[in-house]
Homo-oligomer: A and B are copies of this chain.
Amino acid sequence: MKFLKYLLIFIPISIVAEFMKINPILIFIFSSLSIIPLAGFMGEATEEISIYSGPRIGGFLNATFGNATELIISFFALKQGLFDVVKASIAGSVIGNILLVLGASMFFGGIKYKIQKFNKSIVEVSSSMLLFAVIGLSIPAIFTHTVNKDLLTGRYEWLSVWISLAMFIIYLLGLYFSFYTHKDLYGSEHAEETEAKWGVSKSIIILVLATLAIALESEYLVSSVEPMTESLGLSEIFVGIIIIPIIGNAAEHSTAVLMALKNKMDVAVEIAVGSSLQIILFVAPLLVFISLLFKPMSIVFSEFELVALIVSVLIVNRVASDGESNWLEGIQLIAVYIIIAISFFI
Contacts and interface: CB of A to CB of B under 8 A. Distances in A.
Interface in A306-346: 307-308, 311, 314-315, 317-319, 321-322, 326-329, 331-333, 335-336, 338-340, 342-344, 346
A22 interface: no
A140 B181 CA distance: 43
A136 to B, nearest CB: 5
Nearest to A308: B139
Interface of A: 114-115, 124-125, 128-129, 131-132, 135-136, 138-140, 142-143, 146, 152, 155, 158-159, 162-163, 166, 169-170, 173-174, 177, 181-182, 303-304, 307-308, 311, 314-315, 317-319, 321-322, 326-329, 331-333, 335-336, 338-340, 342-344, 346
Secondary structure dominating the interface of A: helix
A166 B332 contact: no
A117 to B, nearest CB: 12
B343 A139 contact: yes
Contact of A163 (B124, B162, B328, B339): B339
Given A139-B340, A322-B128, A181 B335 contact: no
A328 B136 contact: no
A173 B331 contact: yes
B342 A129 contact: no
Given A129-B332, A132-B335, A328-B129, A139 B317 contact: no
B318 A318 contact: no
Contacts of A146: 303-304
Contacts of A346: 143, 152, 155, 158-159
